[in-house]
A and B are shown apart, each in its own frame.
Chain A
């Protein structure tokens, strides 16, 4: 929990810890939804898909709860310095997690549709992609819970790998479609899932930047040497 100890007013520390715990819980849920969505796709398990879709509602309500707590603390505590940074970061991280869970839920929905068609080799590529995304998500949540700015930097740097994998997978899907036009429906759904996973990586990057800011008070984008940007787009 980021620096929430030792306030003179102890209930203040308690509230900060509570917000961190809610964010961590939300992150764990998002991770489970992602895992379940991909397992549902691979194992062709409709029940698991449905379960993942359902679980997204809990993520949404946690997001609402965090927003409520943040607004309340801003009004009642007028937080400063590291407290202000962690409260604002919690709000932004919760938003990213909400998006992540949404993307994962989308995958679970598409898994239901894809699994109406015969199994396809192309699902293996999805597993590779989602392994990287899940690893990023797990690491960035660890970085958040352990207030680990360096860990956050490493997560952000992994986003490049995911982008490369996605580009490769895009071409792979095109090949499947060209080989046999009966693959087009399923391959298109797979491509959307891949895009969802790629977006999850972007949100993990956002979370990493928030963890870094919360911890150091500095913006990561300026702390990173120019020209090293993976996308070649974000750099000014």
Chain B
């Protein structure tokens, strides 16, 4: 399914390898034979018009589609060489390793502390209160939120501003020490300053994690990612280095979309 002219879907050091991934919802096909590699310690952005299948693809990588009635995923996805579409794979364990951050910040209706502590507790990643305290602090630090919340850890997470809530969700995602973080339009509900903070955070996090971000902002994709894949009508039309995609896309459809000529 690779059109070598416009695609470099395969990369040297992939974290996630997706081959022939197709998805249908109650028989209606939404993704068609997607081949895409996700690079280790880099940010891959998925762009494309609404309904082209970006979120569907993202959900394949941590099997979130399992919980959607009538959704069938076929093909192969491996993370660190392990096939994750196998029935034997424990989806809960998988979602610890492949975390997700959503468009709308969705903190639990609990304290800031418990939002972070929840994952490490249920996955048994920590022993004792001291260790848990430390995970909470480092996660909040890495998410750039510690200084803002350290004096009110026991207050509800829902009381934070939108941008803070999103960084709380990112802190929650990294508290369980994932390998891959999936972000579905993480900044679309945030103002420019909060967006800049999250982008800075993404830049920082890519040193430790492999990140896949869906975004409707071309500028955001250009700013934060090293690779960009353009989805259209359920296929990957073009994938390549972000700089190439935004300065010299090879495919007319990519060009049309990113320059605002998409009809």
Residues of A within 8 A of B (CB): 6-9, 12, 78-85, 217-218
Contact = CB atoms under 8 A, between A and B. Distances in A.
A84 B247 contact: yes
Given A7-B259, A82-B259, 18 more contacts: A6-B261, A7-B260, A7-B261, A8-B261, A78-B218, A80-B218, A80-B222, A80-B247, A81-B247, A81-B248, A81-B254, A81-B255, A81-B258, A81-B259, A85-B247, A85-B248, A217-B248, A218-B248
B26 interface: no
Given A85-B247, A217-B247, A217-B248, A80 B263 contact: no
22 contacts: A6-B263, A7-B259, A7-B260, A8-B260, A8-B262, A8-B263, A9-B260, A12-B260, A78-B218, A79-B259, A80-B218, A80-B247, A80-B259, A81-B246, A81-B248, A81-B249, A81-B254, A81-B258, A84-B246, A84-B247, A85-B247, A217-B248
A78 B219 contact: yes
A53 B249 CA distance: 43
Interface string B215-237: 00011001000000000000000
Nearest to B262: A8
Contacts of B247: 80-81, 84-85, 217
A84 B259 CA distance: 9
A7 B246 CA distance: 17
A6 B256 CA distance: 9
Chain B residues touching A, range: 10 to 19
A127 to B, nearest CB: 42
A84 B262 CA distance: 16
Nearest to A77: B260
A12 B258 CA distance: 14
A85 B248 CA distance: 9
B246 A80 contact: yes
A218 B260 CA distance: 22
A81 B255 CA distance: 7
Identify which of A78, A85, A218 gathers the most chain B CB atoms within 10 Å of its CB. Answer: A78
Contacts of B249: 81
Nearest to B246: A80
B221 to A, nearest CB: 10
B217 to A, nearest CB: 10
Contacts of B248: 81, 85, 217-218
A212 B25 CA distance: 46
Identify which of B218, B254, B260, B263 gathers the most chain A CB atoms within 10 Å of its CB. Answer: B260
Given A217-B247, A217-B248, A83 B219 contact: no
Interface string B124-156: 000000000000000000000000000000000
Nearest to A217: B248
A83 B259 contact: yes
Interface in B176-228: 218-219, 222
Contacts of B258: 80-81
A13 to B, nearest CB: 9
Contacts of A8: 260-263
Interface string B30-74: 000000000000000000000000000000000000000000000
Contacts of B260: 7-9, 12
B227 to A, nearest CB: 16
A78 B219 CA distance: 8
Contacts of A6: 261, 263
Contacts of A82: 255, 259
A82 B218 CA distance: 14
Identify which of A79, A81, A82, A217 gathers the most chain B CB atoms within 10 Å of its CB. Answer: A81
Nearest to B249: A81
A147 B260 CA distance: 20
Nearest to A88: B247
Nearest to A218: B248
Contacts of A85: 247-248
A6 B218 CA distance: 19
Identify which of A9, A83, A218 gathers the most chain B CB atoms within 10 Å of its CB. Answer: A83
Contacts of B263: 6, 8
